[in-house]
Amino acid sequence: MTLTDSRLDPKRASHDVTLESGLGWTHVLVPGQIFRIVDLEGNQAVDTLFYNAEDETERYSAVDTVREQGNLYLSVGTRLLSSEGRALCTIVADTCGRHDTLGGACAAESNTVRYALQKKFMHSCRDNYLLALARADNGMDKRDLVPNVNFFMNVPVTAEGGLSFEDGLSAPGKYVELRAEMDVLVLVSNCPQLNNPCNAYNPTPVRFVIWDAA
């Protein structure tokens, strides 16, 4: 676990947005911009996908990212690689130290299988993604959704090789910063999950702060 603070001042940011729990969001970063995600109240999962903004068929690859860094968990120094093996973003600061890219995004189907039949109709990250893409009106749809990053989420791998959804290691005000390495479309779901401890059973807002390249 590597913890690194940032020296960037939010007062000098070009964007500063708070996203309520259970909502989706899209934004395009340009090369060199720094994108900070702040866990405002602690223990909130932020399900995030990254795409080449010039060609959305090139998108985040969890498999290539894990293989390249030789580590299941993401933190400072991790290069988020695309399906073409190119860096989309690099994590440059992190005060949490543990981010997941194995657990995936909650959906009606997974809520049903993991929890109960009546959970099928609960709001999910997959819904958030699709609603955000519909608002962006960029031609992307469910065929463009792939395994994602879960910032601040703690999903240990068990001795048997399974996954366990556990309490997060984050706390109020913890953050992670990423530097865009190309024009990057960011797609976020501020997770609404109520059935496991990834959100402490109480989804809360998160904050996005963006600084332009120096």
| pLDDT average, residue stretch 190-198 | 75
Q: Which residue, chain included where needed, has tokens 């990254």?
A: 50
| pLDDT average, residue stretch 202-206 | 94
Residue 121: pLDDT above 70?
no
Domain extent for 88: 24-211
Q: Is residue 16 part of a domain?
A: no
Q: Is residue 90 part of a domain?
A: yes
Residue 208: pLDDT above 70?
yes
Give whole-number Cα distances, 44 to 12, 81, 126, 180, 194, in Å: 26, 24, 17, 23, 11
Tell me what pLDDT residue 165 has. Answer: 67
Number of domains in the chain: 1
Tell me what pLDDT residue 122 has. Answer: 57
Residue 164: pLDDT above 80?
no
Q: Is residue 143 part of a domain?
A: yes
Q: Is residue 153 part of a domain?
A: yes
Q: Could you report the per-residue pLDDT of 32-50, keeping only the tens digit for each?
A: 999 999 999 999 999 999 9
Q: Is residue 89 part of a domain?
A: yes
Distance (Å, rounded) from C-alpha 177 to C-alpha 145? 23
Q: Is residue 200 part of a domain?
A: yes
